[in-house]
Structure 1
Amino acid sequence: MESQNWTTVTEFLLLGFSYIPEHQVFLFVLFFTMYLLNLVGNTIMITLVATDHHLHTPMYFFISNLSFVDMCFSSVTVPQMLINIFSENKAISYTACMTQLSFFVTFVGIEIVLLAVMAYDRYVAICNPLHYPMIMNKETCLSLLGVCWLIGALNSLIHTILMCRLSFCSSNKIIHFFCDIPPLLKLSCTDTSLNELMMFTEGSLMDMASFLFIIVSYIRIISTIFKASSVSGRSKAFSTCSSHIATVTLYYGSIFFMYFRPSTSYSLEYDRVASVIYTIVTPMLNSFIYSLRNKDVKVALKRAISEKILQRVCSVA
């Protein structure tokens, strides 16, 4: 067998958006602002749900957990990207790259399943309102959340192990702003067919099952809403579902575009845009979608601000 002169890669270069140096300052300010809004918005949402007893319901329990996952999701990739924008050294070690990939895939899996769980919560609330407190009790909510984290962890374990078995040689330049599966597969000098097969089969099974579950849930929900005699009841039901539908549309649209294509059809430009949408834009928007369009959250926020002002007045007096 002919020997091949391969140099094992010990680190990668995250080139990110370095191909447009004239826009580095603009990109840094833009992404930093969006990341900051993500942290602030989701922290406010988590705090409101934790402190306001009016929001101690299954729906807001899952929303607060979605906010936490969104914060972690972006924190895995964005800080490194912000550092690399102005840094001359864009290197990330092999171990750090695999670690970033592992956490990233974990939170992707959790969010995918959590969105399906939230659809189920809305289905029970609207289609079986009388049984809702009994079905969506505390134990059930915790169990469903545990399933989300378990599936996310197992999904990450599979893809991380498969990625670690690959050899990377010669080129170590990742034309992306974080260690993701598609750009890493393009750098591998060994057979990636098993990785691609698993990405399409296991990934499709989890993503499509969750997506179809959401679609079926909303078909049942919409059918039930149109049967309602009260116009105000219809409006309230649509209001509680519209935020979740907006989040699902943004998230799944970019995920399907990014991952469910043959590796030969990957476009670096479009892939980076899709990645920005689901790693930065969607996590930032989620907290605002669920707060600005939600009367209960706005009332809770006003109540929290009023109590804070009252406490300050009382302390001064």
Structure 2
Amino acid sequence: MNQDFTENENISIPSYFYISGFSGILYMRYYYIFLFFVYIITVLGNSCLMLVIITDRNLHTPKYIAVFNLSLTDICESTAVISQQLDTFLFGNQLIPYGLCLCNMFSVLLFFTMQSLTLTILSFDRLVAICLPLRYCMIVTHRSILVIIGASWKLALLLAIIGPIFISRLSFCKVIVTVNSFYCDHGPIYRSACNNNFPSTVIANLFPAIIIGFPVFFIIFSYTCIAVTLFRITTPQDRQRATKTCTAHLILVAIFYVPITFTYAFWSFINTNTRIINLSLTYVLPPMLNPIIYTFMTEEFMVSVKRLLKSRFIFPSRK
């Protein structure tokens, strides 16, 4: 089908894409070693977080269903991004076949979008819990949160597949196209095309608004409402208790959105190599930090961890 499509539409597709990655940057072998440890911590941390949520029935709540989804997404997103970089470091494979490159683009877009949407879902959970506490159990149910997460996955799949589809309709003048990024990034690829790339340009400008802009707007709106509600709470103990429930999520939001917003806002003023490293850290650090933050910043999760450790290792059940 690709061959017929290429002949009929006079579209020339490259055999390979050359992922330049961190070529030309000094001492990058140490950065690759750093990425390896980041990936190990990410997989272990998020796997433990998911295991605790599955094991402890007290965490079988709508909020922790969303947290479980975030951990699953973190592992998948880190695998999609870091595996490509480690393959380059270990085996020197900077050439990636055309079809595999589009799959890599799809995977990164899918899981990055789901990270953003899941953080938005968690802000919705906090909004209802603090602003409408008496109606929380009616609004945020297991069924409703699963429906929202399912709809988010469908939206993420739709958004993620659009980029590769339009890339497949572009014609390239070279057999090997250089991609100035650390993975098969949509932007550098469509800008290398020979034919009209206007649809891809529209997508490149529209997607950040959908994937980052709308979630940030909703999160700011949510915490504005939360701040107003907290201001009306007269008891300092209640105000402190409500604030604690938002701390972990606010830290996750800051770690995820601030670096990437800064990078895109000052895109033209940042050196190419610096921009690539900044984006790389933006993709790999939040998934690693999420389980650490939830473990140490969420009291109910710490209680569950201590309970499980006590029951499994300190007082194991006797047969």
TM-score > 0.5, shorter chain as reference: yes
Q: Is the 8 A contact 1:200 1:260 kept in 2?
A: no
Question: Which residue, out of 28, 35, 44, partners 1:31?
Answer: 35
Matched, 1:309 2:297: no
Give the SS at the match of 1:173.
Answer: strand
Identify the residue that residue 275 of structure 1 maps to in structure 2: 279
Report the Cα distance in structure 1 between the residues aligned to 2:87 and 2:112, rounded to whole angstroms: 23
Q: Is the 8 A contact 2:179 2:185 kept in 1?
A: no
RMSD value over aligned CA atoms? Answer: 2.2
Q: Is the 8 A contact 1:43 1:67 kept in 2?
A: yes
> What displacement does 1:261 show?
7.6
Matched, 1:234 2:239: yes
AA matched with 1:20: I
Q: Percent identity?
A: 27
Identify the residue that residue 16 of structure 1 maps to in structure 2: 21
Matched, 1:200 2:205: yes
> What displacement does 1:169 show?
2.8
Identify the residue that residue 55 of structure 2 maps to in structure 1: 51
Report the Cα distance in structure 2 between the residues aligned to 1:134 and 1:7, rounded to whole angstroms: 55
- Cα deviation, 1:70-128, whole Å, max 9, x if unaligned, reads 11111111112112113233211110000010111111222222211111110000011
TM-score between both structures, scaled by the size of structure 2: 0.89
Q: Is the 8 A contact 1:257 1:274 kept in 2?
A: no
Report the Cα distance in structure 2 between the residues aligned to 1:277 and 1:59, rounded to whole angstroms: 27
Question: Which residue, out of 218, 243, 255, partners 2:248?
Answer: 243
Where do residues 102-121 of structure 1 align in structure 2 (5 Å cutoff)? Answer: 102-121=106-125
Identify the residue that residue 226 of structure 2 maps to in structure 1: 221
**Contiguous gaps of at least 5 residues in structure 1:** 1-5
Give the SS at the match of 1:13.
Answer: strand
Give the SS at the match of 2:96.
Answer: strand
**Aligned pairs, number:** 308
Q: Is the 8 A contact 2:12 2:171 kept in 1?
A: no
Q: 1:23 to 1:210 in 2, by over 3 A?
A: closer
Report the Cα distance in structure 1 between the residues aligned to 2:209 and 2:70, rounded to whole angstroms: 22
Report the Cα distance in structure 2 between the residues aligned to 1:281 and 1:34, rounded to whole angstroms: 7
Q: 1:302 to 1:133 in 2, by over 3 A?
A: same
AA matched with 1:100: N
Matched, 1:172 2:177: yes
AA matched with 1:212: F
- Cα deviation, 1:182-226, whole Å, max 9, x if unaligned, reads 221332223322212122224414432221111111000011112
AA matched with 1:284: M
Report the Cα distance in structure 2 between the residues aligned to 1:16 and 1:42, rounded to whole angstroms: 26
- Cα deviation, 1:150-207, whole Å, max 9, x if unaligned, reads 1100101221211211123325222222111122133222332221212222441443
Q: Is the 8 A contact 1:12 1:91 kept in 2?
A: yes
Matched, 1:75 2:75: no
> What displacement does 1:7 show?
7.3
Q: 1:216 to 1:22 in 2, by over 3 A?
A: closer
Q: Is the 8 A contact 1:17 1:85 kept in 2?
A: no
Report the Cα distance in structure 2 between the residues aligned to 1:169 and 1:308, rounded to whole angstroms: 61
Report the Cα distance in structure 2 between the residues aligned to 1:42 and 1:253, rounded to whole angstroms: 22
> What displacement does 1:258 show?
5.0
Identify the residue that residue 150 of structure 2 maps to in structure 1: 146
